[in-house]
Chains A and B, each alone.
Chain A
Amino acid sequence: MATDQAIVSVTGMSRAYGRKLAIDRADLSLSRGRILGLLGASGSGKSTLLRAIAGLENIDSGSISIDGEVVSTPRRTTPPEARRVGMVFQDFALFPHLTVAQNINFGVKDRPNRDALVVDLLERLRLVDKAGLFPHTLSGGEQQRVALARALARDPAVILLDEPFSSLDGYLRAEVRDDLIQALRDSGTSAIVVTHDAQDAMVMADDLALMEAGRIIQTGTPRDLYRHPTSVAAARLLGPINLIEAEVRHRMATSVLGTADTDLPEGRAWMGVRPSDLALTTTPGEGQAVRVTSVSDVGAFNMVRVMLGMQTLALHVSGEPPCVGDTITIAASPTHLRVLA
């Protein structure tokens, strides 16, 4: 994934704690001006990778470069203060003994134009009236904007955001996320966002890297990864998916829901279909008859669970839902069937 335009380049990087391998030969590249989402479950190693890029973790193998300069090798780690990175932490990590303005000023004390810079950032992030306040008096969204302003003040080559929304909930989360994306885009700074939330990742990122058990399992654009995951783990990271056993013969996978082309070797595989891609059908001779086991109204649609043989599948039904115990017929378009290893 490395490119000539890469502002951050991670090559074959590993990091172990005792016998536990937290990062396993990771390759990653962030292009200038883009936002890269690092998506993975808890413990997948994504925060460790981010901290290694920030210089807060040593690495055991491989290398990390920022803006063309090698900053981490197993033998040498440029300390965080000497890297051109800004970091926004999960808990924001604002300094409680300093005001908003002093927090933003913290990293630029030695710069001649610092006052103008702080005022500019306060304005850009709509914090002018909060300048003299202490962090504990601010809302979660405001605290996050302060954390971003503080990181941006040093004019970093890359901003690293570690689970930036995990301490926010409900409607505030979406609002703050939109705000943050806007601010990041306005600044033109390259960024890496670590998250375990597929929706956050898809909304924020230009490019995605999926992580599982310390390995980067797939990279690409959010849409590409959502539509064309190459493994069960990758498919699951981006949202709920129904998995059905399939058989691969002559580059064609066959399951009870249909057939799809594949490059996988002959033998058993999985066929995945998202709940939103399964539909009720009345066309004779098409689809599979299944029994409805539960129906839940989740607002925009009904979540219907059905039994196919011994397996439970989920599908989204808009409009009038079936009743529990009904036998219905479901089908999926071949373009929505994913063959997974």
Chain B
Amino acid sequence: MRLLAWLAAAVAIAPLIGVVAAAFGEGRADIAASDLVRYALTSVALALMVAVATAVLGSVSAWLVVMHRFPGRSVFAWALALPLAAPVFALAYGYSDLFDVAGDLRTWMRTVPGIDWGPQIRSLPGAAFVLSMAFYPYVYLTVRAALVNQSSQAIEAARSLGCSPTQALLRVGLPLLRPALAAGVALAVMETLADYGAVQFLSVQTLTTGVVRSWFVYGSLESAARLALPLLATAAVLLWFERLSRRGRTDEVARARWRPIQPTQLSAGRGALAFGFCAGLLTLGLFLPVGWMAVNAIDIDPDVRRLAIAASHSLGLALGGAITTVVLATCLALSAERMPIAARISSLGYATPGAVMAIGLLAPASIVWQGVPGAVSGLGVGLMLLIYAYAARLMAAALEPIEAGLTRVTPSMVAAARTLGRGEIGAALSVRLPIAYGALLTATLVVFIDVVKELPATLILRPFNVDTLAVIADNYARDERLPNAGWPSLMIIALTLPAVIWLTRKITRSRPGDTNGH
């Protein structure tokens, strides 16, 4: 068991070592230092804008939904997380098409109201807007969980000590929320720095687009790895920050005495405003860009055969990636209490952009490819490498729900199984894993959703002729055939939406002390 756990940790860390090794290897420096600085500054600016926007949108929406009663509140509680179902590049295609100068909307605006203005989506602020709409659910979910879990007692204690409701919120509520807010923003920033499809399409040059371009345009592994280094360092810092924030989280406070917060009934006017805010956010984050994409996609005849093959590739890779990742993460989780370092090492992968992970795998991959002569076995090795990259990147994402699920198994239950004749593995198979079954399903779905949406690592590592839905959407978008890109994008959403709905409903219905599966 321990051996498997160390293997899982090694899977996660090996590509990162590969990146560092490649960066310091002998090779051409095709990208000038000035470009590196420009890419880095753009990445920082984008990350800051997304951080501020997601912090505001995510926490305001969570505060409205948890602390107030207004029409649609119970639906918004889970629906506000639905933008997680859409790949961010799909939102970029939708918005870009919607506000295109020659597009239907701008044409109509010029003709009917006579206004020739529209937001410039293909710009840094435009990209920040799109990414914020895609990533605010990370902040929404963490702040919402903190608000639900903090119980009414802290607020009530502040009220009994003379605070008005507003003062209680400012002096007690907000400081208690700060760790959750920081954790959510850290996740949003990690995703922003990792994004390739959307920023590349919106013509914003970040470090991640630089990594992919270095490989595809210049074929330089060393340049790509050098660009990846600052991303790797930032990922480590963000991960450390996110873990640090979590350590201060107040979820565990007074579990036994947890009492739900009694939401305030909003007046009709304020209720309508709250409804408008949440509905507007959901519209901008999902319905408007995806709906627009769907409307345009209907007008064209899709290449059904190509889409079907890509869908089967996406599904196969997502299932393979999810099962591999969950099996490895399960080994890690089962041994985590005795080897926490292995679990911590594996977490590094989660903050690492997929492109960086893929670059780290390229050097060992080329050795493997050279050693495997046949085209069929080459394909097999390529697919295995791709699944390896997914597992390395998403190990921590799977580990977290599994660890949470395993907390339902008390140490005495394991000890009981041992005294009743089961060995360590027997106790894991007969007691620990069956009890954490829901958590394993959650972890599988989390990885499945991420793999279906994944683009940069797939672009770099996929074997020849193995296109996923994300890859062909990217191909169409590069050719400016956005209505065609709509079909694979919508199919991705169709694959992930049921899983996202199931997960968000499960998460938003959970209560403190209930660690079943998340």
Contacts and interface: CB of A to CB of B under 8 A. Distances in A.
Interface of A: 51, 54-56, 79-81, 83, 85-87, 89-91, 93-97, 106-107, 147, 150-151, 154
Given A95-B431, A95-B435, A97-B435, A80 B418 contact: yes
A147 B413 CA distance: 11
A87 B421 contact: no
A89 B434 contact: no
B419 A80 contact: yes
A81 B412 contact: no
- DSSP majority for the B interface? helix
A54 B415 contact: yes
A128 B202 CA distance: 69
Interface string B400-421: 0000000010101101111111
Residue from the set B420, B421, B434 with the largest chain A CB neighbour count within 10 Å: B420
A102 to B, nearest CB: 10
B167 interface: no
A330 to B, nearest CB: 45
Given A91-B410, A95-B431, A97-B435, A79 B415 contact: no
A154 B420 contact: yes
Contact of A87 (B415, B430, B435): B415
Contacts of B410: 91, 93
B422 to A, nearest CB: 6
Given A91-B410, A95-B435, A81 B422 contact: yes
Given A87-B415, A91-B412, A107 B435 contact: no
A54 B419 contact: yes
8 closest A-B pairs by CB: A107-B420, A93-B412, A80-B418, A93-B416, A89-B412, A87-B419, A93-B413, A81-B421
B291 interface: no
Nearest to A87: B419
Task: Classify chain B's interface size.
Answer: 10 to 19
A81 B415 contact: no
A56 B430 contact: no
B418 A56 contact: yes
Given A85-B419, A95-B435, A106-B420, 16 more contacts: A55-B419, A56-B418, A56-B419, A79-B418, A79-B423, A80-B415, A80-B418, A81-B419, A81-B423, A91-B410, A93-B416, A95-B417, A97-B437, A147-B416, A151-B419, A154-B420
Contacts of A106: 417, 420, 430
Contacts of B437: 97
A87 B411 CA distance: 13
Contacts of B412: 89-91, 93
Nearest to A80: B418
A135 B417 CA distance: 16
Contacts of A107: 419-421
Contacts of B434: 97
Residue from the set A54, A87, A93, A150 with the largest chain B CB neighbour count within 10 Å: A93
A261 to B, nearest CB: 47
Interface of B: 408, 410, 412-413, 415-423, 426, 430-431, 434-435, 437
A55 B419 CA distance: 8
8 contacts: A54-B419, A80-B419, A87-B416, A95-B413, A95-B416, A97-B437, A106-B417, A154-B420
Contacts of A91: 410, 412
A154 B421 contact: yes
A85 B412 CA distance: 15
A310 B413 CA distance: 51
B419 A86 contact: yes
A259 to B, nearest CB: 50
A85 B421 CA distance: 10
Residue from the set B421, B423, B431 with the largest chain A CB neighbour count within 10 Å: B421
A55 B422 CA distance: 13
B413 to A, nearest CB: 5
Contacts of B422: 81
Nearest to B408: A96
Contacts of B413: 93-95
Residue from the set B413, B426, B435 with the largest chain A CB neighbour count within 10 Å: B413
B420 to A, nearest CB: 3
A336 B211 CA distance: 87
A107 B431 CA distance: 12
Contacts of A55: 418-419
Contacts of B431: 95
A79 B431 CA distance: 18
A107 B435 CA distance: 17
Residue from the set B418, B422, B423, B431 with the largest chain A CB neighbour count within 10 Å: B418
A146 B166 CA distance: 52
Nearest to B423: A81
Contacts of B423: 79, 81
A95 B434 CA distance: 10
B254 to A, nearest CB: 19
Contacts of A147: 416
B415 A89 contact: yes
A150 B431 CA distance: 15
B83 to A, nearest CB: 35
A94 B423 CA distance: 17
Nearest to A51: B415
A54 B437 CA distance: 28
Contacts of B426: 81
A271 to B, nearest CB: 43
A140 to B, nearest CB: 15
A89 B410 CA distance: 11
Contacts of A90: 412
Nearest to A147: B416
Nearest to B427: A81
Contacts of B421: 81, 107, 154
B418 A81 contact: yes
A199 to B, nearest CB: 24
A212 B410 CA distance: 27
A87 B418 CA distance: 10
Contacts of A86: 419-420
A91 B414 CA distance: 12
Given A95-B435, A106-B430, A150 B415 contact: no
Residue from the set A55, A81, A91 with the largest chain B CB neighbour count within 10 Å: A81
Contacts of A79: 418, 423
Contacts of A56: 415, 418-419
Residue from the set B416, B426, B435 with the largest chain A CB neighbour count within 10 Å: B416
A83 B418 CA distance: 10
A96 B417 CA distance: 13
A93 B415 CA distance: 9
Contacts of B415: 51, 54, 56, 80, 87, 89, 93
Nearest to B418: A80
Contacts of A154: 420-421
Contacts of A83: 419
A106 B421 CA distance: 9
A92 B413 CA distance: 8
